[in-house]
Structure 1
Amino acid sequence: MSPSWVPWVVTFLSTALRLDASVTQGRDSPEDFVTQAKADCYFTNGTEKVRFVVRFIFNLEEYARFDSDLGMFVALTELGKPDAERWNNRPDILARSRASVDMLCRRNYYLGAPFTVGRRVQPEVTVYPEKTPALQHRNLLLCLVTGFYPGDIKVTWFRNGQEQREGIMSTGLIRNGDWTFQMTVMLAMTPELGEVYTCLVDHPSLLSPVSVEWSENQLVLSGPSWGRSDSGQGLCYLPIHLGHSTSSSL
């Protein structure tokens, strides 16, 4: 955003919040109230289609807005009619509001895209059983995928190379609070001799999908061992404890 654009946006949002005395007069206005203005930019296919919306809110009720798709201010309640009419009669305010699609939204998109749209963080994948595994006893295998960005991710379970579609449960996408996500996908299973279960994870940050295996052989491990994962971007060796497999991409 150009330096000359910043003062206008701040000033406009501040002054536009002032309620007309003629509008509030005669109403049961609370002694304490909150007014807000929220400006949002909506993007479709990058900057192919951009929509700029400013919402004006009084005590949690939106009473007026500017919508660049309409190119004008719209009153949503009786309270907003005087303001919308006044702003629509100001050519300077209308011109700047319409120009915000390019001067505010598109410009800030290109400034922030490398840190948001273009940001990529690789996932760490861990496979482990819900409870101490035993042959021919029902159990859940959990595939924990965490620390990844963006949230577009595909997690698939395989049993002896065959994709599993039944007995699948998922926590869905969970925000970690640090601009990364996590997800756990569970597979209901009964361990049998010779079976190999594989959790396959595909994510935009990876050159090729990451796979982590778990098998009944891990039931008889008596101490820590070492697992190996090849994500297509390098090898990572991590300690694997009893019945517990981990993969991380470098």
Structure 2
Amino acid sequence: MKIVVIGGSGLIGRQLVSDLAHRGHEVVAASPSRGVDSVTGTGLASAVAGAQVVVDVSNPPSFADDEVLTFFRTSATNIATAAREAGVAHIVVLSIVGTDRLQVSGYFRGKQAQESAYAQSGVASTIVRATQFFEFLSAIADGYTRDGIAHLPTFALQPVAAADVAAALTDVALSRPVNGIIEIAGPERAPVIEFVGTWLGHREDPRAIVADEKAGYFGAPANDRTLVPGDGARLLPTRFEAWLAAQPIGEPA
């Protein structure tokens, strides 16, 4: 089966391409660096020609609110159009747990627009909402650091290993579309400060850490429900301790 991975050169995309290839499928890793631009539409038609499944794990080059929204809306519309014209049977979309609850965030508004574009495309689809990745903990720490001190939130997080996300997307891509949303998450839930603090300790990072109960999620209000999955979520296997043990001491993910 031919499967096209939009964003195939990124963190999740690279692992997904490898996983699908190991399962014996013809995989096209589509990205601007490989001549496929989902925003301009360049190379899309030829990339999806003959494909049965398209998986979108793309990300915008800029995280400015307006540019994020334009990227996700335009990209999803173009991919869906190309997929529909090529007779693609299933589009799989990687999104984020909490997308509908964090619309004050420009990035999450962009993801909501992306989800809507696919849901209304006329092509059978599955939206996979994942929790934050373990690999994103460094960025979280840096985003909350001021004057050498990490002012970390205390709301709950249930992060997941990127490799587990790629494996879950592989299974979804090889299954029938659900025409709805699947949530996936890691097996453990704890305050942001616990996950990030442990990660900084593993890196032997010298910055001080303080708890900030009023801190939201990068400027957006957040609580213990905002970024964690519902009761029906698929919990993936890798525990934080096991993931941490595989990371080089003193180096970022």
Same fold at TM > 0.5: no
More strand by share: 1
Normalising by structure 1, report the TM-score: 0.25
Rg larger in structure: 1
Question: Could you say which structure has the greater relative contact order, defined with CA pairs below 8 angstroms and 6 or more residues apart?
Answer: 2
